[in-house]
Copies of this chain bind each other. A is one copy, B any other.
Amino acid sequence: MDLKLAHEEFERGITHTGFHYTMSLIKRKYKLGIIYCLMMNGPTRYNELKRRLEAATFRSLTNSLKELEADGLISRKEYSQISPKVEYDLTEKGKSMTPFLELLCDWGCEHMPKEK
């Protein structure tokens, strides 16, 4: 699979607004989850991410990570050592998304149904 830019469709599209651009970057199910996780925990290894995002499978996770990296939101750092170690972290661009992600979380906490 070649490195696909998640926003390439956006590029070809007609509506070049900031809104659509942001949406194109976070469309996949677990992308925001990944960013959220990195925001809370700092650099994180592949398997650790997998563990935190229980629901995601390796495949979904890998796809999301690749696109996020291609879009410059996260960085991938590989340590060459016997048992492979790869850490993912937010880039500056990724970090710049955290205020809005925090707002998203706060909003959810305030408005989620109380008891059930």
User: Separation in Å of the A23 CB from the closest CB of chain B?
Assistant: 7
A70 partner residues in chain B, CB cutoff 8 A: none
How many chain-A residues does the 8 Å CB contact rule pick out?
Answer: 34
Q: How many copies does the complex hold?
A: 2
Instruction: Indicate whether A51 reaches chain B with its CB closer than 8 angstroms.
Output: no
Q: Is A113 a contact of B11 with CB atoms below 8 Å?
A: yes
Instruction: Indicate whether A59 reaches chain B with its CB closer than 8 angstroms.
Output: no
**In whole angstroms, what is the CA distance A56 to B116 when docked?**
34
A15 partner residues in chain B, CB cutoff 8 A: 54
Instruction: Indicate whether A77 reaches chain B with its CB closer than 8 angstroms.
Output: no
A54 partner residues in chain B, CB cutoff 8 A: 14-15
Q: Is B36 a contact of A108 with CB atoms below 8 Å?
A: no
